[in-house]
Amino acid sequence: MAKTKIGIGVIGMGWMGGVHSRAYRAVADRFPDCPLEAELVICADEVAARAREAQQRFGFARSATDWQAVIADPQVQVVLITAPNYLHLETALAAAAAGKHLLCEKPVGRSPAETAQIARAAQEAGVLTCTGFNYRWAPAVQRARQLIGEGKLGPLTHYRGRLFVGYASDPRSVLSWRLQREQAGMGALGDLMSHAIDMAMMLAGPVAKVVGQQETFIKERPVATPGQGDHYAVKSGGPMQEVSNEDYVGALVRFKGGAYGVLEACRIIQGPQSEIGFEVHGTQGSIRWNFERMNEFELYLAEEGAIDPGYRRVLTSPRHPFHGAFSPGAGIGLGYEDLKVIEAYNFLQSIASGIQGEPGFATVLAVAEVQDAIERSWKTERWEAVCSL
């Protein structure tokens, strides 16, 4: 199949910059039906060595230290924003104004209001958008979505969603940009709960109202050594500084469809490492899934359990969405970065068709509206309705 090339520019060549670069390169190979072939045009990072190294490693034609060069490049049609959250507003507004299609990593804005501003700008500019809610693309999660859509679980009664990671569980973990309100905006509510809210709404529908709570358990942390303030760096001794956003957030939610729910996210938990999961229950069955065992899910259908009750374990297979692009056999599983390849494929398909796909900025805005209600309820200590931003 003859493919049309599409120029990609990436801003921020840390963890996510690399993951996205590899993913866009892999789409043509994993999804031969995709009419667009990503061409890595230019990458930018404020650390010159990182920009140069990424250029060579991933095969970008050019690299730069100023992100404006990515947006100004006439060969760039799609901008991927994988920089820290404090750069999202400025870069996203500039990319939209330049008419570039735009992927911005979650949580998009530092605050729900910033997310709304970015979503409005992209809509007014008429560009197509995407965000990094990658966990939704796991074949097991997409299979769960199909089963729920087909009514196999019956009307949903309740839902539990969580994102439990321990990246900041060590008190010696440095005060990276993620742990500072000015730079990251929301803490666990933005960084982690955004994924859990997206997953919950994809599976159980929109949220009507919430009541939430939050806590910062580790109040201060070592100041990062410049250039080493990443996700997983630890440091003993030296000056300490206040952590200014939350380690934990929890919320009771009521879905518009009537189901009840609980959502939680925590970055200092001991035990779970990447427990991104859900349990969804209906009058006729239940499904549960956990990213730590991403290539399987547990299914209970009341009609099958009359004699032999209990969950049964289902391994993902080529008959489940996207699995076959990566392996021909059941139980031969995918990894984290494969979810980014699926995300990239879906975004390129959306660009090829000119039809906005999911999860675009409208989805992110819906997530932000839930985050906004949760933040309001921290202050009022009452149920808060989810309102338009």
Shortest Å, Cβ 106 to ligand NAD: 6
Report, in Å, the least distance between residue 122 CB and ligand NAD: 16
What angle in degrees, to the nearest 10, is found between the helix axes of 193-204 and 139-149?
A: 30
Minimum gap (Å) between residue 14 Cβ and ligand NAD: 2
How many helices (H) and strands (E) would you count in the chain?
Answer: 11, 17
Nearer to ligand NAD, 255 or 278 (CB): 278
Write the CB contacts of 228 (distance below 8 Å, at least 6 apart in sequence): 174
3-state secondary structure of 115: helix
Q: What pairs with residue 262 in β-bridges?
A: 160, 252
Which residue, 73 or 105, is less far from ligand NAD as judged by CB? 105
Shortest reach from residue 39's CB to ligand NAD, in Å: 20
DSSP letters of 77-103? -EEEE-S-GGGHHHHHHHHHHTT-EEE
**Two tokens, residue 366:** 């819906």
Count the residues in the chain.
389
Residue 44 C-beta: closest distance to ligand NAD, Å: 5
For residue 193, the minimal CB distance to ligand NAD (Å) is: 12
Which residue number, 85 or 316, has a Cβ lying nearer to ligand NAD? 85
Provide the phi-psi class of 154: left if phi over 0, else alpha when psi is between -120 and 50, else beta: left
**What is the torsion angle, in degrees rounded to the nearest 10, for the CA atoms of residue 44, residue 49, residue 50 and residue 55?**
60
- State in angstroms the smallest separation of the CB of 185 from ligand NAD: 10
How far apart (Å, rounded) are the C-alpha atoms in residues 56 and 239?
A: 37
Q: Exposed/middle/buried for 358, CB within 10 Å: 0-12, 13-18, 19+? A: middle
- Output the smallest distance, CB 99 to ligand NAD, in A: 21
Q: Which is nearer to ligand NAD, 105 or 246 (CB)?
A: 105
Residue with tokens 């929109």: 206
- Footprint of ligand NAD on this chain (CB under 6 A)? 11-16, 44-47, 50, 67, 82-85, 87, 105-106, 132, 134, 191, 230-231
Nearer to ligand NAD, 66 or 242 (CB): 66
Preceding peptide of 321 cis, ω within 30°:
no
- Which residue is nearest to ligand NAD, using beta carbons? 14
Backbone angles phi, psi at 334, to 5 degrees: -95, 170
Tokens of 202: 């994809």
Alpha-carbon distance values, 326 to 60, 112, 330 (Å)? 25, 36, 11
Backbone angles phi, psi at 282, to 5 degrees: -130, 180
Q: Which residues partner with 240 through β-bridges?
A: 222
CB of 231 to ligand NAD, least distance (A): 6
- Residue 82 Cβ, how far from ligand NAD at the closest point, in Å? 5
In the beta sheet, which residues pair with residue 279? 160, 288
Alpha-carbon dihedral of residues 161, 341, 58, 80, nearest 10 degrees?
Answer: -70
